[in-house]
Amino acid sequence: MRRPYAITLDVGSSLANLTGSWRSERPVYVDRLPPCNSACPAGENIQQWLFHAEEGNYQAAWRVLVRDNPLAAIMGRVCYHPCESACNRGLLDESVGINAVERFLGDEANRQGWQFDPIAADSGRRVMVVGSGPAGLSAAYHLRRRGHGVVIFEAESTAGGMMRFGIPQYRLPRSVLDSDVQRIVDMGVELRLGQRVDDIEATMQQEKFDACFLGVGSQIGKRAYIPAGDARRITDAVAVLHQMEGENKPLLGRRVVVYGGGNTAIDVARTARRLGAEESIVVYRRTREKMPAHSHELNEALEEGVKVKWLSTIAAAGDETITVEKMQLDESGNPQPTGEFETMQADSVVLALGQDVDLDLLARLPELNIERGVVQVDALQMTGRRGIFAGGDMVGGERTVTVAVGHGKKAARAIDAYLRDSTPAQAAKHELATFDRLNTWYYSDAPKTIRPVLDIIRRQSTFDEVVGSLDEATALYEARRCMSCGNCFECDTCYGVCPDNAVIKLGPGKGFEFNYDYCKGCGLCAAECPCGAIRMEPEVD
């Protein structure tokens, strides 16, 4: 209810604090959703762990991070950080290097030997997880945190799925991968390597599993028909990257042609250079602007001597050559043949045209609905067979490590509810903290930290990690570039600018509240709040 005008007496007593003119609206503290949090497929509370990191409390930051994502050191290397594309700071100078800080925290956890928090009380229920890739590891971790017994079945002799067999070591060192996996095993998850599951239903019954999560990656390379004199010279990118994990490395020759335009094509072309190829050429049928590979991956490849033949497609392959047809884009941007051909020298051709998931293990589950090679799931990641859930590459969408981790977490929450005969609680969605809500005068210019990069000679001849980590000083600096969009970080600006002494400090970590008996609704606090954590709301009659 609106309060009438009250006469105030400047007599140095508490009477001087009585409210002044009518108030048409009042300030309210709000928690808005930071755009980085909103954009993260793994559902990390990025702003909160950055807050702890900028205080120098790295273990607290890591523990907040791994509530949602157990693979911090891995993610700091392979995630394509959509959070940074959404970061409001990018509209001021440059986005916060969230991915770099995440990597620092993950590496620090491995260096210090930090372990996950103790699990909840044992539930007595058991869950079968098929596949030890990012989706399976994430699901196993979140299920174990809830007290369930978890067994991961992995057909390969080593864990990691497509993180191991699809990402080269110069991007993801295997020691980092092994450390993050081992931490999940150490919390009580059983990992059975070299055990392929052919009959899910029978395995569940034999070992008395109460639920199952399917997290099989896309490990089958797509093929294309190319007339070839010697078909042995044509292989696929998945096979090449898989062979890199064995003792016998692939023999690609001195002149390697990679057919495709995605990140996998770039990975194979860069791998070929490191294996000794004098020429590593990517043949892509569109322009650079249309290329699905991430720009920084392409730039690194070009620096290493990889070449790209744009607007081209392979028409045929001879004994030592390939025939390439030039393309042109039509009005819709689609490539069309021109009838112009060119001959190129090539010792081998690697097809990088995408991957499919091996769905043979689902043959005995007719209840599962599969459309165009994708397992259909409901909003809770459950398949057509009650008690069997799926995520990652199997369910389609963007096939990245981060998306798979998010699927695993979501499925684990649903499986936990299924085992407890309840419904997963839905977190309230807060309004987005957009750039226009911020008061950016508070933030001085602070350029984004550039991560160290391995010298070009070693990049061309070794599989040493290309992009380095931040040290503590630069990680701390980068974390402090966060503007805490939409959430109070107790900077005291509202307390300092309020002309009516209507802002009450509740103590460190507790924020503030308004005394509406004093507040006149001038809106100065909301206008001056750096992070947009105050909203002016109309008074209710």
Q: Is the pLDDT of residue 21 over 60?
A: no
The two three-digit tokens of residue 509, written as one number:
């970590």
What's the confidence (pLDDT) of residue 442?
A: 82
pLDDT digits (tens, 9 = 90+) for 58-68: 999 999 999 99
Both 191 and 102 in a single domain? no
* Whether residue 140 sits in one domain with residue 78: no
Examine the domain organization and report whether 468 and 406 are in the same domain: no
Least confident of 311-325, 402-416, 421-435, 494-508: 421-435
Shared-domain flag, residues 254 and 339: yes
Conformation bin of residue 43: beta by default, left when phi > 0, alpha when psi is -120 to 50: left
Do 244 and 308 lie in a common domain? yes
Residue 435 lies in a domain: no
Average pLDDT rounded to a whole number, residues 5-15: 34
Q: Token pair for residue 90?
A: 């990018």
H helices then E strands: how many in the chain?
Answer: 18, 21
Which one of 328, 353, 378 terminates a domain?
A: 353
**Other beta carbons less than 10 A from residue 9's beta carbon:** 9
Averaged pLDDT, 530-534: 94
Whole-prediction pTM: 0.91
What pLDDT is stored for residue 224 in this prediction? 78
Whether 24 and 49 map to the same domain: the answer is no
What's the total number of domains in the chain? 4
Q: Indicate whether 179 and 244 sit together in one domain.
A: no
pLDDT band at residue 16 under the 50/70/90 scheme: very low
Same domain assignment for residues 270 and 345: yes
DSSP 383-443: -SSTTEEE-GGGG-S---HHHHHHHHHHHHHHHHHHHTTS-PPPPPPPPB--GGG--GGGS
Say yes or no: 214 and 362 in one domain.
yes
Q: Assign 164 a pLDDT band (cuts: 50, 70, 90).
A: very high
Residue-range definition of the domain harbouring residue 327: 234-353
Answer whether residue 14 shows pLDDT above 70: no
330 and 292 in a common domain: yes
Instruction: For residue 423, name the pLDDT band (cuts at 50, 70, 90).
Output: confident
Mean pLDDT to the nearest integer, 23-40? 94
- The string of pLDDT tens digits covering residues 446-473 is 899 999 999 999 999 899 999 999 999 9
**Residue range 319-366, pLDDT digits in tens:** 889 999 999 999 888 899 999 999 999 999 999 998 888 888 898 898
Residue 2 lies in a domain: no
Residue 390 has pLDDT above 90, yes or no: yes
132, 54: one domain:
no
Residue 5 domain flag: no
Q: Is the dihedral of CA 152, 239, 366, 380 positive or negative?
A: positive
Whether residue 410 contacts residue 138, with contact meaning beta carbons closer than 8 Å, is answered with: no
- Same domain, residue pair 456 and 499: no
pLDDT band for position 17 (50/70/90)?
A: very low
State the pLDDT confidence band at 231, using cuts at 50, 70 and 90.
low
Alpha-carbon gap, residue 264 to 287, rounded angstroms: 17
Contact present, 96 and 84 (Cβ < 8 Å): yes
- Is it the case that residue 229 has pLDDT exceeding 70? no
In the predicted structure, residue 12 carries a pLDDT above the cut 70: no
**Residues 517-527, mean pLDDT to the nearest whole number:** 93
Mean pLDDT of the chain, nearest integer = 91
Sheet holding 190-193, edge to edge: 190-193, 149-154, 126-130, 211-214, 388-390
Under 8 Å between Cβ of 40 and 47? no
Residue 96: give its domain's CATH number.
1.10.1060.10
